[in-house]
Structure 1
Amino acid sequence: MNEVNQIVSDIKNGNAKPIYFLMGEESYYIDKISDYIEQNVLSEEEKGFNQMVLYGRDVTVEEIISQAKRFPMMAEKTVIIVKEAQDLSRTIEKLVPYVENLQESTVLVINYKYKTLDKRKKLHKIASKYGVVFESKKLYENQVADWIRKVLNGRNYQMEPKAALMLVEFLGTDLSKISNELDKLTLILPEGTIINPAHIEENIGISKDFNNFELRKAVGNKNVVKANQIINYFSNNPKSNPTVMTVSLLNSYFTQLLMYHGLQDKSKANVAKNLGVSPYFVNDYVEASRNYPMRKVSQVIGFLREADVKSKGVGASLSQNDLLKELLFKIMH
């Protein structure tokens, strides 16, 4: 995020580079930088003659270069934005001659999503030398809650750890999807609100009581009744609660529990660091470790691997609901 802020700050201060090569698995920041350039480098009056948006599937690299070599009309800059440039991955190195002789009055933006340039090749080296090469890396699941906190702090909001975890479990690590939901919440809720699970349930539609976080907690506490209530809820809402996802999240949970058993230093800070969780949730692992000794945890991981295969339709004769009920019985007995 700091690198993105610096790029935007430089553009805001009139120091736009002649080429921006925006690449990587996480499209959110690629779109943010590209959109900022599209909206702010030229005035509305200048955009008509001097700004162009191209799409990788519709143009060649040679056509991009031809447009980039145009001189601006009644403006200081020409802005050329190439979206979906990953469709040009086989020919993208043909940009090298242009980057070696950049048109200083042009701002060329290449949106190269879900791929990266080969750092050993010439284009990466010279684009880095004369412009900006930005790699937008996908966040790990345990980093997303912190990202949510930073985004909301910037808008004068806060979010409880459980509420953040609910969002991550429901939406995954796709920052664009999460950002859209945060936009909704900050539009509805007054500034200064501490967003809690009830807000998530009311405004986004994720149940605060029947979700994968609550299932893991019920399993960890060996609360058989609560765990089965959640499984029954999942069976009635299969699209929102796919079995494959539930099994995967339980597997992650017990893998973390295995790691917990292996730690010599079980202080809250060290557990949070090694398990990649908020200190807020450490006590849940302490309680679960009492209910599931290391030998049992290893056995449970075996059960989960079997269930994962069956949930994908391999050798499965049970319904998804019965599969989860059978799995819970094995885990909790």
Structure 2
Amino acid sequence: MDEVKALVSDIKSRKFVPIYFLMGEEPYYIDRISDYIQETVLTEEERGFNQMVLYGRDVSIEDVISNAKRYPMMAEHQVVVVKEAQDLARNIEKLVDYANQPQPSTILVFNYKYKTLDKRKALYKTLKKTGVVFESKKYYDNQIPNWISRVLAGQNYTITQKAALMLAEFLGTDLSKISNELNKLKIVLPEGTQITPELIEENIGISKDYNNFELHKAIGSRDILKANRIIKYFGENPKDNPMVLTVGFLHTYFSKLLHLHGLKDKSPRSVASALKISPYFTEEYITAARNYPMKNVSAIISTLREFDVKSKGVGSNAVPQKDLLKELLVRIMN
């Protein structure tokens, strides 16, 4: 993310602002920027007297302001970090007077997770003038593989597209969780390594052949034998492949197919843009749309809703997951 790089570059160059208000749905960059400030602004000797971490649930806005107005001891700056600052949301606008005239020797950092300031109100407008307001937005599913590739490229690794897609499917959109798994890979793999599905299977435990990505591909191409093998594997390994997730992924897949059927322009570029998928997938979706007419897709989505309820134990009379999966596959592919 270019905004993050620019912000980190300014901090590294010691071009500080008195208030950093880090907010938004995705906590990963909020934590990374906040940690970077804590690690780099002050020396180790200066931190003892001049670095303070407060928690929103334990303090008031008045407490934060009082600490921010202190002067540093034997240092050019003091750093005050307010973690879980979203707990101060009810009274956060009280910060506006301090934001108008912040203490220049204090670097005040707010970690305001899962929420954002009201951009119509005075505090947001004031902070934009006197400090930095950074909004960390949630990534969409289709953005995650490229994010993984960019992060690894910056650390002198590469990754194949299929491997990135496997990680994205298995780990979801939680950037912190993905980053932790990438760090595990970096411990065992030397710099310059190209990360492949085989390396992911060996080191993280995600099967390169038996996963929802391969299931969608098999169903979409009407490869009944391969789809049955994957479903059998899922039934035998329910902890690693919970049915509720499989049904959810399939519902998303067929919902995209329904959307594709409604497109006037079915060129690969148009399909990738409209469905918010990687261009890598477009031919697969176009093939699947040929194999599953709109009427069939609508019926399959209805079936998936039925099995979503069953996968949660409602109306299934304790039918084993492997049997439900087999029945679901028959209903979809017939």
* TM-score, shorter chain, exceeding 0.5: yes
Partner of residue 323, structure 2: 322
Partner of residue 268, structure 1: 268
Aligned 1:30-45 pairs, distance under 5 A: 30-45=30-45
Task: Tell me if 1:131 matches 2:123.
Answer: no
Partner of residue 53, structure 2: 53
Q: Deviations over 1:110-146 (max 9, x none)?
A: 1011111112222212112110111101000001111
Q: Secondary structure at the match of 1:54?
A: strand
Task: Tell me if 1:201 matches 2:193.
Answer: no
Partner of residue 66, structure 1: 66
Partners of 1:233 and 1:132 in 2: CA distance: 50
Q: Structure 1: 5+ residue runs without aligned partners?
A: none
* Offset at residue 26 of structure 1 (A): 0.3
* Offset at residue 49 of structure 1 (A): 1.0
* Offset at residue 11 of structure 1 (A): 1.3
Q: Deviations over 1:66-102 (max 9, x none)?
A: 1111101111101001111112222222222221221
* Offset at residue 152 of structure 1 (A): 1.4
The answer to whether the 8 Å contact 2:235/2:325 transfers is no
Q: Deviations over 1:140-199 (max 9, x none)?
A: 000111111111121222211211111111111000111111122223223222211111
Partner of residue 249, structure 1: 249
Q: Structure 2: 5+ residue runs without aligned partners?
A: none
RMSD of Structure 2 on Structure 1 (CA): 1.5
What is the letter of the counterpart of residue 284 of structure 2? D
Partner of residue 161, structure 1: 161
Partner of residue 77, structure 1: 77
* Offset at residue 211 of structure 1 (A): 0.7
What is the letter of the counterpart of residue 150 of structure 1? R
Aligned 1:175-214 pairs, distance under 5 A: 175-214=175-214
Aligned 1:5-154 pairs, distance under 5 A: 5-154=5-154
What is the letter of the counterpart of residue 330 of structure 1? R
* Offset at residue 235 of structure 1 (A): 2.3
Aligned residues: 333
Q: Secondary structure at the match of 1:133?
A: strand
Aligned 1:211-226 pairs, distance under 5 A: 211-226=211-226
What is the letter of the counterpart of residue 98 of structure 1? Y
Q: Secondary structure at the match of 2:206?
A: coil
* Offset at residue 328 of structure 1 (A): 0.8
What percent of counterpart residues are identical?
65
Partners of 2:214 and 2:170 in 1: CA distance: 13
Partner of residue 290, structure 1: 290
Partners of 1:84 and 1:309 in 2: CA distance: 36
What is the letter of the counterpart of residue 106 of structure 2? T
What is the letter of the counterpart of residue 329 of structure 2? L
Q: Secondary structure at the match of 2:90?
A: coil
What is the letter of the counterpart of residue 325 of structure 2? L
* Offset at residue 331 of structure 1 (A): 0.5
Of 39-48 and 280-289, more deviation after overlay is shown by 280-289
Partners of 1:64 and 1:262 in 2: CA distance: 54
Q: Deviations over 1:38-72 (max 9, x none)?
A: 00111112111111111112222211111111101
